């Protein structure tokens, strides 16, 4: 068996197949158990009660176990292990098929021919009903059908009468038609699901390209603005702090002038990697200009924001770009940090203050971090507005 990772589109299609199967699982089990009860009631007095009720009890117990599997699938995370769930489903269907096959041996033991004919008819209905539930997943249907119908066919052939041989043949032909229908359904649904999964994958790729900078693989300016507004609004609602870091690279023009644009691009990529290493998964690192970067820090107090900025600054200062011809380049950074107190975040204020702090850090000699508060400006009072209108 190959240990190669499964194709993502195929895995997504398998998950959708499982959702379709488990979608009507309780109803399917209810129908199956109802058919079992009908058979037990029909054969009451024809077959040993101990055998009938023992079989029915085991069928009910297996149904309860399968319902627990269904419940676990419903509660499982979105990124499920398709292979593991398919194995669990196939185990359940094989047990169910085996129990129904054993039922065939028990129920067809009746000497009443009319009861035997009705039993075979019910079994055919169970096989067809199972196809409507498992038809989207051929493998699961076959693990149910093979043990079920194999035992029923053997029981019919064991009778060795001129009537039971054609009955076994007709049952086998009916089951073959149902199997073929299930196979075609599986292929049709599978193709549709794989196309849907490929389309979803393509859509995600296009969305990623639209929201990320292709050079440094960070969020682009437009997506950065959207996320900053979202973070600020959530911070106000949740009454929590947040922060914004602006990073302007120092001496980057020297890299471009002396090493060419390829060296500049590589330096930007390496800075992007540094940012990824120093932020949380909940943070947003972005490239917002040529050599300008930003990091949005939700739920981040002032002390932590300053610590992140200092760590990023040290990492950038320690970074050395070795280039062709024995050349090497160092870049630095001027960093501005805007911090909003709990419940007082404002996207415009964060942008304005972070930009001003970054400018101040650069003017103060570069290679440093400037931290400032970014509380939103209060609305002017009527007295202040009146004072502004008075002539000087």
Residue 310 pLDDT exceeds 90: yes
Residue 301 pLDDT exceeds 60: yes
Averaged pLDDT, 164-175: 87
**Rounded distance, CA 162 to CA 239, Å?**
83
225-262 pLDDT, tens digit per residue, is: 999 999 999 999 999 999 999 999 998 988 888 888 89
Residue 178 pLDDT exceeds 70: yes
Cα diameter, the chain: 119
Which pLDDT band, with edges at 50, 70 and 90, does 277 fall under? very high
Q: What is the DSSP string of 360-385?
A: HHHHTTSS-EEEEE-PPPPPPPHHHH
32-53 pLDDT, tens digit per residue, is: 889 889 888 887 877 788 888 9
Work out the mean pLDDT of the chain and round it to a whole number: 86
Query: What does the chain come to in residues?
Result: 392
Number of H helices, E strands in the chain: 12, 9
pLDDT of residue 109: 66
3-class SS at 220?
Answer: coil
Q: Bin 332: left if φ > 0, else alpha if -120 < ψ < 50, else beta.
A: beta
If one compares 378 and 353, the residue with the highest pLDDT of the two is 353
Which pLDDT band, with edges at 50, 70 and 90, does 115 fall under? confident
- Report the first-to-last Cα separation within the chain, whole angstroms: 88
pLDDT of residue 307: 95
218 contacts 288 by C-beta, under 8 angstroms: no
The tokens describing 258, both together, are 């002396």
pLDDT of residue 376: 65
Angle at 22 between CA 20 and CA 24, to 5 degrees: 85
3-class SS at 162?
Answer: coil
pLDDT of residue 314: 94
258 contacts 318 by C-beta, under 8 angstroms: no
Averaged pLDDT, 281-303: 93
If one compares 315 and 175, the residue with the highest pLDDT of the two is 315
DSSP state at residue 214: T
pLDDT > 90 in the chain, percent: 42
**Rounded distance, CA 289 to CA 125, Å?**
67
Residue 127 pLDDT exceeds 80: yes
Which pLDDT band, with edges at 50, 70 and 90, does 305 fall under? very high
112 contacts 64 by C-beta, under 8 angstroms: no
Averaged pLDDT, 149-162: 85
325-375 pLDDT, tens digit per residue, is: 778 898 999 999 999 998 888 999 999 999 999 999 999 888 899 999 987
pLDDT of residue 99: 93
Which pLDDT band, with edges at 50, 70 and 90, does 379 fall under? very low
Which pLDDT band, with edges at 50, 70 and 90, does 300 fall under? very high
If one compares 3 and 197, the residue with the highest pLDDT of the two is 197
Q: Bin 68: left if φ > 0, else alpha if -120 < ψ < 50, else beta.
A: alpha
């Amino acid at each position: 068996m190959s240990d190669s990772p499964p194709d993502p589109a195929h895995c997504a299609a398998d998950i959708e197949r499982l959702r379709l199967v488990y979608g009507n699982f309780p109803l399917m089990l209810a129908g199956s158990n109802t058919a079992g009860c009908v058979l037990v009631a029909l054969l009451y007095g024809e077959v040993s009660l101990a055998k009938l009720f023992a079989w029915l009890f085991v069928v009910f117990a297996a149904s309860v176990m399968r319902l627990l599997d269904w419940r676990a699938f419903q509660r499982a995370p979105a990124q499920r292990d398709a292979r593991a769930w398919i194995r669990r489903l196939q185990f359940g269907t094989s047990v169910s098929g085996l129990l129904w096959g054993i039922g065939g041996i028990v129920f067809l033991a009746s000497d009443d021919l009319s009861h035997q004919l009705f039993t075979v008819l019910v079994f055919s209905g169970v096989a067809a009903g199972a196809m409507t539930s498992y038809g989207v997943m051929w493998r699961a249907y076959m693990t149910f059908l093979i043990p079920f119908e194999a035992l029923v066919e053997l029981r019919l052939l064991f009778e060795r009468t001129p009537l039971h041989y054609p009955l076994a043949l007709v049952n086998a032909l009916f089951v073959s038609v149902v199997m073929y229908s299930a196979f075609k359904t599986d292929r049709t649904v599978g193709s549709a699901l794989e196309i849907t999964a490929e389309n979803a994958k393509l859509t995600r790729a296009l969305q990623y390209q639209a929201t990320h900078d292709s050079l440094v693989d960070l969020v682009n300016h437009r997506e950065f603005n959207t996320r900053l507004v979202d973070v600020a609004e959530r911070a106000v609602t949740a009454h929590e702090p947040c922060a914004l870091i602006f990073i302007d690279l120092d001496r980057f023009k020297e890299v471009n002038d002396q090493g060419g644009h390829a060296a500049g691009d590589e330096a930007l990529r390496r800075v992007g990697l540094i940012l990824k290493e120093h932020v949380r998964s909940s943070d947003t690192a972005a490239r917002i200009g040529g050599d300008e970067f930003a990091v949005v820090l939700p739920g981040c107090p002032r002390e932590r924001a300053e610590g992140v900025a200092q760590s990023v600054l040290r990492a950038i200062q320690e970074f050395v770009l070795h280039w062709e011809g024995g050349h090497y380049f160092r870049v630095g950074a001027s960093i501005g940090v805007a911090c909003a107190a709990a419940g007082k975040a404002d996207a415009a204020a964060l942008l304005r203050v972070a930009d001003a702090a970054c400018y101040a850090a650069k003017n103060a000699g570069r290679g440093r971090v400037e931290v400032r508060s970014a509380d939103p400006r209060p609305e002017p009072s009527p007295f202040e507005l009146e004072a502004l209108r008075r002539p000087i």
